[in-house]
Amino acid sequence: MGFWKRDDELHRLEAELRANRPEPPRRFIRALVESQRGEDRWLRPKVRVGLAVVLAGLALAAMASAGGFGVIAHTTKAAVKVMQRTTDPSPRLTVFNSPANQQYQKHCGGLNEVPCHITIFDASVREGDSGITLMTFTVSLDATPSTDVFVSYSTMDNGSATGGPVCGPGIDYIIQAGTLDFPAGTASETITVPVCGDTLPEGNETFYVNLCCQSGNATIYRSRATGTIVNDDH
């Protein structure tokens, strides 16, 4: 009777191993131990693989004595799956920097956030022989603003290029002034300065674009940019 009882237990063990249960490996193996021993036992991570090997060995020995070699093969495969499920690491979560994941990007300027840092970059453009050529200055924040940010700007002569209200004799660029607005979620804007073309041979000329008077949720990191009008006359 003891042999048949043990054989029934091993068949039940085989069914458990082949059930491909969806619960985590710890709960799965713990359920197998409870079903065989009739007692509650908590398994630590270091003994999971050892338990799977022991269960597989017991099943193989018993099935061999009963002549169930076909069952042995199935039980061995099931034991290998148990070992894989208990030793494979969990997949790592990958977070992509995309518009759908704005919450993972650095923000600034909002409540309980650091101020946004404003930087203006130098620019240059070829003068052209006539008409107007646009010179574009990029102004950027160091993070994505959570609320609107604004800063004032104005052009300034530096003794090289000369600005004026319109293009004409002796005027190299059209003076500009205004306020640059960064809506929430926008970290970069541009300032455009019209450059006046002519055919006079002369060296490269420069002027400044200055920033000031920013909103309270921002600070100016670089307040002055140099605009270079590249001479293209010979």
- pLDDT value at position 219? 96
Alpha-carbon dihedral of residues 55, 57, 62, 67, nearest 10 degrees? 130
- pLDDT value at position 43? 45
The tally of domains found in the chain comes to: 2
Alpha-carbon distance 72 to 62, whole Å? 9
Q: Give the range of the structural domain holding residue 165, as residue numbers without chain letter.
A: 106-230
Percent of the chain at pLDDT exceeding 70 = 54
Q: Is the pLDDT of residue 171 over 90?
A: yes
Q: Shortest CA distance to 27 belongs to which of 35, 57, 80, 55?
A: 35
- pLDDT value at position 46? 47
Give tens-digit pLDDT for 142-157. Answer: 999 999 999 999 999 9
118 in the same domain as 30:
no
Alpha-carbon distance 116 to 3, whole Å? 78
152 in the same domain as 115:
yes
125 in the same domain as 74:
no
The pair of structure tokens assigned to 195 is: 């450059």
Residue 94 included in any domain: no
Buried b (16+ CB within 10 A) or exposed e, 14-34: bebbeeeeeeebeebbbebbe
Residue 128 included in any domain: yes
